[in-house]
């Protein structure tokens, strides 16, 4: 039996070593960092995907669609339905709208996320219509996710509460900018990222559902709840992929988890830009959107710490006796990380009290100022 080391400091070496040839460096990160041995392992996982991951997708006539939640445009009383929707949403405060719109813009950037998955070595859809389990998963996952932005966008348009031109500019700019989650074309790192990120979006949509109910919009609560349910299934899919990597290559999986936690998980929309916010305020739009999400309790630094703790439990980081060397040291770092992050969040919250009342105008809500703290 391997005895767990008692390391205190975290290792500073990369979580996954690049192949023996010279590494390719771009934007300060190593590209194609997975070793050949681990790439070969990933390529054996097709049958596992077929039995453990693909069944988490929803297919068939009973799958919900955006039109199930929206006024029916062909109905004679369509205008009455829209008026009822506008009455329901009239109580939604601007900070709720900013968070909902930011989440919606994130969901609308789906082409970027599909492109990111197709950069990962060993799992990409090589033809655009590959029959492999990896190709099927990527396309069907994107198809499920695509409903989220469609529904949220149409609902927000019908409310009349948002500056849709500013929202659309932000969506176009975000898709144009792409995303850089620092996953190095490495499926180990990529699926740790998605394991975390899908759980984060589930939490955010679940909280917007709860808040919508508090503000009297039961339909919007059902919308956000349905989206959160999808994210919950997708979270399980990606975490199952890392489950099997921990089973077959515990050192590699643990080092990949450590690597992404050291880098910190950036949300997919971290490059959002409406073309106005910075010039008007001198501030970063994504940072201000995140501040509003934190202020409203929709997604906070404590949620981030809770996700790390959840993944530690799921992957039995504290219990593992199959780790050696750097992976053993990485596990020691991961065990302590949630508490460390909570202490940092508490100190950050204490400092924020000095700036309480700070606000910024958001073009999404016609430049009305929204409190950030």
- pLDDT for the residue numbered 355: 67
Instruction: Quote the pLDDT of residue 72.
Output: 97
User: Angle at the Cα of 294 (from 278 to 283), degrees rounded to 5?
Assistant: 10
Tell me the C-alpha distance between 182 and 185, whole Å: 8
What is the pLDDT, as a whole number, of residue 60?
A: 85
32 is in an annotated binding site: no
Query: Quick check: helix, strand or coil at residue 29?
Result: strand
Active site residue 198: yes
Q: Which residue is catalytic, options 141, 150, 211, 234?
A: 234
Q: Is 335 annotated as a binding residue?
A: no
Is residue 218 annotated as part of the catalytic site, yes or no? no
Residue 13: its pLDDT value, please?
Answer: 44
HSE-up of residue 324 (Cα within 13 Å, Cβ side): 3
Q: Which structure tokens are listed for 78?
A: 């369509």
Whether 145 is catalytic: yes
**201 given a catalytic annotation:** yes
| pLDDT average per 10 residues of sequence, the chain (373 residues) | 44 46 63 94 98 95 94 97 98 98 96 92 95 97 96 98 98 94 95 97 98 98 98 98 98 98 92 96 97 96 97 97 96 98 92 80 98 91
* Active-site position among 125, 145, 235, 249: 145
* Secondary-structure class of domain 36-59+76-371 per CATH: mainly alpha
Which entry of 201, 296, 298, 300 is annotated as an active-site residue?
A: 201
Active site residue 234: yes
- Each domain of the chain, given as residue ranges in start order, spans 36-59+76-371
Of the listed 95, 230, 288, 309, which one is catalytic?
230
Residue 371's SS3 state is: strand
pLDDT confidence of residue 4: 54
The answer to whether 148 is annotated as binding is yes
pLDDT of residue 23: 63
Annotation says 50 is catalytic: no
- Which one from 32, 64, 180, 322 is the annotated catalytic residue? 64
Is 234 assigned to a binding site? Answer: yes
- Give the per-residue SS3 of 288-350: HHHHHHHHCCCCCHHHHHHHHHHHHHHCCCCCCCCCCHHHHHHHHHHHHHHHHHHHHHHHHHH
* pLDDT number for residue 18: 44
Catalytic residue among 198, 294, 303, 326: 198
Which one of 107, 125, 259, 309 is the catalytic residue? Answer: 107
Strand ranges for 204-281 from DSSP E: none
If DSSP codes are grouped into helix, strand and coil, which group holds residue 87?
A: helix
Please tell me the distance from the alpha carbon of residue 364 to that of residue 368, in angstroms, as a whole number: 9
Q: Based on the residue annotation, tell me whether 364 is a catalytic residue of this protein.
A: no
Burial of 327 from C-beta contacts in 10 A (0-12 / 13-18 / 19+): buried
């Amino acid at each position: 039996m391997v005895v767990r080391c008692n390391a205190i400091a975290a290792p500073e070496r990369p979580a996954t070593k690049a192949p023996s040839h010279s590494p390719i460096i771009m934007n300060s990160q190593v590209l194609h960092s997975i070793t050949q041995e681990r790439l070969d392992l990933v390529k054996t996982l097709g049958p596992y995907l077929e039995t453990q991951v693909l069944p988490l997708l929803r297919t068939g006539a009973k799958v919900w669609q955006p039109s199930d939640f929206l006024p029916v445009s062909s109905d004679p009383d369509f205008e009455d339905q829209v008026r009822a929707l506008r009455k329901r949403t009239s109580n939604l405060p601007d900070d709720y709208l900013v968070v909902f719109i930011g989440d919606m813009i994130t969901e609308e950037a789906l082409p970027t996320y599909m492109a990111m998955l197709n950069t990962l070595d060993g799992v990409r859809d090589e033809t655009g219509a590959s029959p492999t389990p990896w190709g099927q998963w990527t396309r069907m996952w994107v198809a499920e996710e695509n409903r989220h932005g469609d529904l949220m966008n149409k609902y927000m348009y019908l409310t009349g509460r948002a500056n849709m031109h500013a929202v659309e500019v932000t969506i176009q700019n975000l898709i144009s900018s792409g995303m850089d989650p620092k996953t190095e074309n490495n499926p180990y790192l990529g699926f740790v990222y998605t394991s975390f990120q899908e759980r984060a979006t589930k939490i955010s949509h679940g909280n917007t559902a709860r808040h919508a109910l508090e503000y009297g919009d039961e339909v919007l609560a059902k919308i956000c709840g349905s989206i959160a349910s999808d994210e919950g299934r997708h979270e399980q899919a990606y975490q199952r992929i890392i489950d099997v990597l921990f089973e077959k290559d515990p050192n590699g999986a643990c080092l990949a988890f450590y690597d992404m936690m050291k880098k910190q998980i950036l949300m997919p929309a971290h490059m959002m830009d409406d073309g106005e916010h910075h010039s008007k305020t001198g501030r970063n739009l994504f940072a201000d959107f995140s501040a509003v999400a934190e202020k409203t309790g929709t997604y906070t630094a404590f949620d981030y710490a809770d996700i790390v703790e959840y993944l530690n439990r799921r992957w039995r980081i504290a219990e593992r006796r199959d780790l050696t060397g750097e992976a053993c040291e990485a596990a020691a770092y991961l065990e302590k990380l949630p508490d460390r992050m909570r202490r940092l969040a508490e100190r950050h919250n204490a400092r924020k009290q000095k700036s309480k009342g700070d606000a910024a105008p958001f073009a999404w809500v016609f430049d009305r100022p929204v409190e950030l703290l």
